[in-house]
């Protein structure tokens, strides 16, 4: 058992995260007018970035791809038609508080609203976590619901970031899931190995490797610069523990919408034992319009990427559409656009309907 002091390390790292614009600008040698500019955006979704992330940003470069992912800007507060608070219909898919069942066989459990890194494009930035949180009784009712559904064979722990749970809660949750006979896999969706690599300590590794069910960890990396020394070491350790590692990315304007960058990302991930899983088109959540890549550009980038990579390093390019029974492949999105150029307004209407349902 590691010593108490050692155990506290990642919590200290989390507490020491940068959480305000003046500190961020000072630390990165940025123009202080940025401070005033992003203040309103930061009031609705706070800035938060651990030092492990900050260290990978190039000082003095306002266009740094890692900075762009976390920097609150005025662009977020503009009115954005076709962008809404629940672009993927999550609220409509809630079975018990925090348990989303959208796709056959899989249930997604939102175990916490907290994240180590606050990504400005996050589709759950508007999710009402206050009502979906992991108080033990909420988790219990989710576990009971899963136990009563033999058709569910995989549980996905998500959030927020499930690896921000303390060891005790995570252990309890994983054991409870290990005890449900009809489950075949536990999947965790987490950005922690990248955003707060010190969390991947011996205790966490023991927790993740101990149980009956195979663990699949899907991390999120959008740019090769995110894979610094600490993150790389964390991933290598997890892989050595026999955990299946996959990566998802979001295609983001000003961050990674280039075949060169995405090629490098896939190759770097492979070298660390991580296979590319999904490349998501942006979910149109309020405040994220400045990250949107036009569909024609997405198609071009993806075509060029496909030509550059062996098939097994090519992520599946998908969008999430409310009401669909799986993620939607890019080719389908493209076809929908060609067949129904008014698709945008239809999905807006559907979103409005879903939002109205969520309120009653
Ligand atoms: C994305 C998602 C899943 C997982 O989908 P896979 O295609 O299996 O990765 C499951 N449930 C919900 C609600 C999701 O949004
Ligand atoms: S880590 Fe994931 S859930 Fe958390 S803010 Fe970033 S994208 Fe959203």
How far is it, in rounded angstroms, from Cα 278 to Cα 343?
23
pLDDT score of 91: 77
Which ranges of the chain have pLDDT less than 70? 1-8, 128-134, 341-360
pLDDT score of 129: 63
**Per-residue 3-state assignment (H helix, E strand, C coil) for the chain:** CCCHHHHCHHHHHHHCCECCHHHHHHHHCCCCHHHHHHHHHHHHCCCCECHHHHCCCCCCCCCCHHHHHHCCCHHHHCCCCCCECCCCCCHHHECCCCEECCCCCEEEEECCCCCCCCCCCCCCCCCCHHHCCCCHHHHHHHHHHHHCCCCCCEEEEECCCHHHCCHHHHHHHHHHHHCCCCCCEEEEEECHHHHCHHHCCHHHHHHHHCCCCCEEEEEECCCHHHCCHHHHHHHHHHHHCCCEEEEEEECCCCCCCCHHHHHHHHHHHHHCCCEEEEEECCCCECCCHHHCCCHHHHHHHHHHHHHHCCHHHCCEEEECCCCCCCCEEHHHHHHHHHHCCCHHHHHHHHHHHHHHHHHC
CATH of domain 90-343+350-359: 3.20.20.70
Ligand 1 pocket mutation pick from 124, 216, 327 by most atoms within 8 angstroms of CB: 327
Ligand 1 pocket mutation pick from 93, 104, 106 by most atoms within 8 angstroms of CB: 106
Ligand 2 pocket mutation pick from 50, 52, 124 by most atoms within 8 angstroms of CB: 124
- Between the CA of 156 and the centroid of ligand 2 the distance, in Å, is 15
Question: For 77, phi and psi rounded to 5 degrees?
Answer: -95, 0
pLDDT score of 42: 93
pLDDT score of 327: 97
pLDDT score of 65: 98
- Between the CA of 194 and the centroid of ligand 2 the distance, in Å, is 12
pLDDT score of 28: 96
Residue 1 tokens read as 């058992």
Q: Which atom of ligand 2 is nearest to the CA of 195?
A: 1
Q: Which atom of ligand 1 is nearest to the CA of 318?
A: 7
pLDDT score of 80: 81
How far is it, in rounded angstroms, from Cα 226 to Cα 204?
21
pLDDT score of 8: 55
pLDDT score of 3: 47
Residue 243 tokens read as 């955990």
- Between the CA of 103 and the centroid of ligand 1 the distance, in Å, is 7
pLDDT score of 350: 53
Instruction: Give the tens place of pLDDT for each residue, 212-235.
Output: 999 999 999 999 999 999 999 999
pLDDT score of 87: 83
Domain ranges of the chain: 4-77, 90-343+350-359
Does 122 carry a binding-site annotation?
Answer: yes
Q: Is 103 in the pocket of ligand 1 (CB under 6 A)?
A: yes
Residues 327 and 319: beta-carbon distance below 8 Å: yes
């Amino acid at each position: 058992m590691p010593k108490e002091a050692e155990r506290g390390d990642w919590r200290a790292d989390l507490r020491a995260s940068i959480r305000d614009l003046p500190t961020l600008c000072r630390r990165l040698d940025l123009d202080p007018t940025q401070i005033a500019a992003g203040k309103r955006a930061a009031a609705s979704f706070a800035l938060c970035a651990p030092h492990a992330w900050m260290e990978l940003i190039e000082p003095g470069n306002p266009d740094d791809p890692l900075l762009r992912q976390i920097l609150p800007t005025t662009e977020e507060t503009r009115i954005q038609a076709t962008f809404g608070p629940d672009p993927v219909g999550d609220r409509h898919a809630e079975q018990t508080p925090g348990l989303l069942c959208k796709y056959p066989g899989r249930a997604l459990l939102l175990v916490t609203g907290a994240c180590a890194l606050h990504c400005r494009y996050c589709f759950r930035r508007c999710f009402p976590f206050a009502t979906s949180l992991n108080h033990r009784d909420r988790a219990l009712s989710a576990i009971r619901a899963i136990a009563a559904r033999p058709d569910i064979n995989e549980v996905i722990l998500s959030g927020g970031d499930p690896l921000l749970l303390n060891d005790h809660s995570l252990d309890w949750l994983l054991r409870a899931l290990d005890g449900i006979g009809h489950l075949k896999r536990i999947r965790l969706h987490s950005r922690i190995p990248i955003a707060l690599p010190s969390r991947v300590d011996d205790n966490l590794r023991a927790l993740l490797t101990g149980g009956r069910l195979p663990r699949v960890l899907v991390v999120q990396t959008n740019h090769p610069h995110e894979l610094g020394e600490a993150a790389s070491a964390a991933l290598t350790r997890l892989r050595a523990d026999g955990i299946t590692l996959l990566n998802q990315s979001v295609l983001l304007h000003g961050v990674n919408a280039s075949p060169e960058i995405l090629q490098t990302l896939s190759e770097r991930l492979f070298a660390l034992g991580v296979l590319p899983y999904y490349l998501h088109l942006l979910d149109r959540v309020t405040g994220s319009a400045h990250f949107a890549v036009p569909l024609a550009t997405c198609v071009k980038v993806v075509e060029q990427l496909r030509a550059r990579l062996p098939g097994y390093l090519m992520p599946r390019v998908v969008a999430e559409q409310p009401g669909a029974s799986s993620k939607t492949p890019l080719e389908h999105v493209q076809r929908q656009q060609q067949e129904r150029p008014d698709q945008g307004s239809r999905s807006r209407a559907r979103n409005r309907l879903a939002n109205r349902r969520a309120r009653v």
